[in-house]
Amino acid sequence: MMSERDISRGCKRGNAKAQRALFDRYSPMLMAKIFSYVGNDDDAKDVLQDTFIKAYTMIDSFAWAGDGSLQAWLTRIAVNTSLNFLRSRKRLSTFNVDTADLDDPPPDIVEEPTAAEINRLDISTILDLVAELPDGYRTVFNLYCLDGYSHKEIAEQLGINEKSSSSQLARAKVLLAQKIRKYINEHNIDNYYEQQYE
């Protein structure tokens, strides 16, 4: 199997085998990442294709910095391509929370799911629930919780202020917790696990 460094070197030379290796190794991870932003498979496939086109054409700008650096570089391209897609479809055009009443606390939730309950859900289920969040909430949640952006960086990316980013994150967490609680209740997750270990 080609190393990450060999893949990057091969892609810089336009080697078809290296380009295929790049796609095969990273497309599943990038597809999951993109889906978490755009919220459906068809759009995610389009954004994934655009991500790799950009990666192949921009590979000369990639600078090797040890194992994991190629994946990190591809992830940044995927996130930026996802955000550009959402902007192009006007799906962030209603993300004008600066005029909202940001002093309103997020709504209370009943029976917030525990860490143990959340750990019983597989990652694909959680990603599906994240994908159900409104575009603005989902975007801030992903940028902050999954990709490690600060509120200042999110504000710059989305053209909002930091307080708006923080407010959207709080509301996203509440809404996601509600969705997780509903899923657990509807699928009887607690009883399922109790039966498995009796």
Q: Which residues contact 126 (CB under 8 A, 6 or more apart)?
A: 118, 180
**Amino acid letter, residue 188:** N
Domain 97-196 matching CATH 1.20.144: the answer reads: no
Q: What angle do CA 176, 28, 46 make, to 5 degrees?
A: 80
Sequence ranges of the domains in the chain: 4-88, 97-196
Contact between 175 and 133 (Cβ < 8 Å)? yes
Question: Exposed, middle or buried, 51 (CB in 10 Å: 0-12/13-18/19+)?
Answer: buried
Q: Distance from first CA to last CA of the chain, Å, rounded?
A: 43
Q: What angle do CA 87, 139, 161 make, to 5 degrees?
A: 85
- CA distances to 11, 17, 44, 131, 187 from 41, rounded to whole Å, are 27, 27, 5, 10, 23
Fold of 4-88: Rna Polymerase Sigma Factor; Chain: A (1.10.1740)
Q: Tens-of-pLDDT digits for all 198 residues of the chain?
A: 889 999 999 999 999 999 999 999 999 999 999 999 998 899 999 999 999 999 999 999 999 899 899 999 999 999 999 999 998 887 775 454 443 444 444 555 556 777 887 888 888 888 889 989 988 899 999 999 999 999 999 999 888 889 989 989 998 998 999 899 888 888 876 554 444 444
Q: What is the pTM of this model?
A: 0.79
**Amino acid letter, residue 185:** N
Tell me which DSSP letter residue 110 carries.
Answer: S
**Amino acid letter, residue 95:** F
φ, ψ at 95 (rounded to 5°): -85, 55
The two tokens of residue 110 are 């009943």
